[in-house]
Amino acid sequence: MESLTLTDVEQKYYSDLFVYCDTDNTKKVASNGKVLDLFRAAQLPSEVVLQITELCGATRLGHFGRSQFYIALKLIAVAQSGLPLRVESLNSVKDLPLPRFVVAKNEQEARHTAMYPDLENQGPYQGVIPRPPGRGQVKKVSAHEVIQPCVPTVEPQPDTTSPVVSPHQSPPTSPHAWRKHKRQASGGNVERPPVVVAGAVWTPFREAQSGPVVAGDGMWSAHSPPPVQESWVSLKDTYPPSSSKMPPMRLSLVQENSSIRTVASVATANEIQRQSSSGYDDPWKITDEQRQYYINQFKTIQPDLNGFIPGSAAKEFFTKSKLPILELSHIWELSDFDKDGALTLDEFCAAFHLVVARKNGYDLPEKLPESLMPKLIDLDDSAEVPDQAPDVGYSGSPVEVTPNKSPMPSLNQTWPDLNQGNEDTAIVHPVPIRMTPSKIHMQEMELKRTGSDHTHPTSPLMAKPPELSEETSMKFVTANSGDGYSSSDSYTSDQDPITSVVTRQRSNSGTSPEGLKVVAAPPPPPPRPNASHSRSSSLDMNRNFAAHPTGPQQSGVVACPPAIPPRPLPTQTSGPHSGHRSDEGLAAHSTTSPQQIPEQPNFADFSQFQAFAASDQPSDDGEKHPESLPVEKSTEGAGPLRTVKTDNQEERAAATVNSAKGSIMAPPPKPVRRRLKSEDELQDEALPPKSNVIATVLATLPSIPRSVGKDKKAIQASIRRNKETNTVLARLNSELQQQLKDLLEERISLEVQLEQLRPFSHL
């Protein structure tokens, strides 16, 4: 029918009427006499009837083809509801009650009106969708022909669906099939002006049909009327014997089916109808209400929306749908995107959607449709925050799929290569992997690191104001290395639990804090107090530090050095960073620390800094933040980078990279806060209570300077110290970053080689 979208209720109704009028049993043409009788039974004024006849094209044709008949029926409904008779009203009027005929079909109409909005173009898969109201009433009117379609579709569903399904399966041919149907039905209605409007609406359908399977949906709706009707008509003969059995069976089936299925199918059917009526939509797209429903279902199995549904649970759940195991297996293959044997929320929604679609008669695609692809986190896109709730847009390339599994997390440029390679093999690497949300993860790492970083450099500085430059640098370095160490520890330990769940694609940032918290003690370094802890733990650490300002710090600092193998210290000279790499670099470090590197941007910051120092501290925080940001960033990177150097370079490199990356990507406030803290400590001014841990951590540290009292000189001295620290850190950072990059490249190449050389032995 040209763009005549009928609800299935209408569909049935009209087909029945058509059959009723089809006294010659041509199945194509209703005898005029009967039709006119029927129209008269509609109790419309005769001129209206005439108008209707004209509009539907019967006058032109001289007879009532099926489509004309349907159009006429719909127009009758329109007229009966008091709306002006126009062709546009055919499709534009929703919720139109069925045309009333005095021939005792009113009861249907009432029911159908109620069900109208929900079920449209469901055609064959009515059998699957339990429609309690309709069915009950259908049972009531058991004698009525309308029952037929419902009931037979249960058993002969394969037959019923086949005419519809087959075109669906082969979209390219379906236009043909559809057009054939159309022509049969309308016999050239297309050209008629009255249906120009309908034709216009229709063309989008046709154009869509040339597309991929997606068009199947539009086709679907188009197809469902003709084949279904025909099948209904043919089934009409067979159903009477079965009808007695069917309704009870139907009901029992309905009851058996979990209500979930019902709602899902109805919702899906609803959605499909909406989509089809809108002209051209992706049939596989999950609507919001569907998605919400799926999410609720997910919660019943797995309360944590960021967690996974294990395969066994999913199997039980989907087995309830009573689909054959083979199909469920296929659905699983399609939806388990990362092949980890568990379903994330996205995967679950996709699987659920496929199940529902399958139950409604849709054929399973060979490939996961785009709209069902799990929304992946693009690690390269630092601006993107993982967000699972909204619709499942296909957000990117396969790159995102395997960030978890990639051994080289944070090097942007290496992401695609490694990821794709990993994806191809779908091998889960027992390699330390980063949590998916790189940005968030990095921020957290950043916070922890900065917190720990702050404590150490500042504490020794604080503890010994007149310290020798060497000592300062030494402590600073060690502290930082320890810091980096701890941060890398935390990172590594972060990786450990991650590794344990390595097969999972953690698409939510929620997992990263968990991972961090769960961390076990990392292997090599002496466990730093705040290693691998969340912010709260580092808070504790800071409190410890505050309690024993000098002692633990010193000890902590002392504890760090043993774990630090010779670390290449950043060259203090501005230009070639590759120069200074040695333990003696400490000396160099110290020697150069006093030398403020002119090119460091810190100076500009420092000047402002001093200006700030004079003024009230808290108010300056915000201002200082942006200025000291670049320093912060580089410093932050330096800290973890340093750590990397000290420890297992390869393993830590990842951490370092991450941290560096994170520091680079870190939002301004964090590094700034850190800087502020150290300044505060030194200046012994009360820090504005920042939300992050670093603030608290540092706040604890400055307890000592606070005791000194606000003293401008002390403040200035602390400023100077900070400056020195800044410079040193900045240099360290730049050099370490350079080294880091080299190391990472090496690592990448090694990993690739390893992968290539790995013997064929798994699991």
In the complex, minimum distance from the CB of residue 142 to other proteins, in angstroms, rounded to a whole number: 39
Considering the rule CB under 8 A, would residue 239 count as an interface residue with other proteins?
no
Q: Which of 46, 255, 312, 582 binds other proteins (CB under 8 A)?
A: 312
Please state whether 57 falls in left (phi above 0), alpha (psi between -120 and 50) or beta. Answer: left
- Position 325 contacts other proteins (CB under 8 A): yes
518/524 Cα distance (integer angstroms)? 18
- Contact between 517 and 560 under an 8 Å Cβ cutoff? The reply is no
Whichever of 148 and 419 has its CB closer to other proteins, that residue is 419
**Separation between Cα atoms, residue 410 and residue 446, nearest integer Å:** 14
Site for other proteins contains 315 (CB under 8 A): yes
Number of neighbours of residue 93 by Cβ within 10 angstroms: 14
Least Å distance, CB 334 to other proteins, is 9
Q: What is the spatial distance between Cα 705 and Cα 395, in angstroms, rounded to a whole number?
A: 51
757 lies in the binding site for other proteins (CB under 8 A): no
- Of residues 401 and 638, the one with the C-beta less far from other proteins: 401
User: Least CB distance from residue 515 to other proteins, whole Å?
Assistant: 22
Report which of 594, 339, 376, 319 is spatially closest to residue 473, judged by C-alpha positions.
594
Q: How far apart are the C-alpha atoms of 435 and 226, rounded to whole Å?
A: 52
Using CB under 8 A, which of the segments 128-136, 312-320, 467-475, 513-521 binds other proteins? Answer: 312-320
Is there binding between residue 466 and other proteins (CB under 8 A)?
no
Is 547 among the residues that bind other proteins (CB under 8 A)?
A: no
Shortest reach from residue 127's CB to other proteins, in Å? 24
DSSP code string of 493-505: HHHHHHHHTTTS-
- SS3 percent helix, strand, coil of the chain, rounded to 5, is 65, 0, 35
Cα separation values, 673 from 665, 687, 696, Å:
15, 9, 10
Q: Does 427 bind other proteins (CB under 8 A)?
A: yes
- Closer CB to other proteins, 252 or 425, in the complex: 425
- The one segment of 206-214, 378-386, 421-429, 574-582 that binds other proteins by CB under 8 A: 421-429
d(CA 254, CA 270): 18
- Rounded to whole angstroms, the Cα distance separating 578 from 228 reads 77
Instruction: Please identify, using beta-carbon distances, which residue of 300 and 761 lies nearer to other proteins.
Output: 761
In this complex, which beta carbon is closest to other proteins, that of residue 383 or of residue 763? 763
Site string for other proteins, 328-347 (x = CB under 8 A): xxx-xx--x--xxx------
Strand locations in 31-164, DSSP E? 64-65
Closest distance between other proteins and the C-beta of residue 508, in Å? 21
Complex with other proteins: residue 86 or 315, whichever CB lies closer: 315
**Residue 402 C-beta: closest distance to other proteins, Å:** 14
From the CB of 756, what's the least distance to other proteins, in Å? Answer: 9
Quote the CA–CA distance of 434 and 492 in Å, as a whole number.
Answer: 10
Question: 3-class SS at 612?
Answer: helix
355-364 burial string, b = 16+ CB within 10 Å, else e?
bbbbbbbbeb
Q: Please report whether residue 326 would count as binding other proteins according to CB under 8 A.
A: yes
| Dist CA 338 CA 423 (whole Å) | 8
Q: How far is the CB of 358 from other proteins (least distance, A)?
A: 13
If binding is defined by CB under 8 A, does position 421 make contact with other proteins? no
Q: How far is the CB of 338 from other proteins (least distance, A)?
A: 10
Of residues 346-385, those binding other proteins (CB under 8 A): 366
Q: Determine the Cα–Cα distance for residues 541 and 457; give it in Å rounded to an integer.
A: 15
CB of 730 to other proteins, least distance (A): 47
- Interface ranges with other proteins (CB under 8 A): 311-312, 314-315, 318, 325-326, 328-330, 332-333, 336, 339-341, 366, 425-427, 759-763
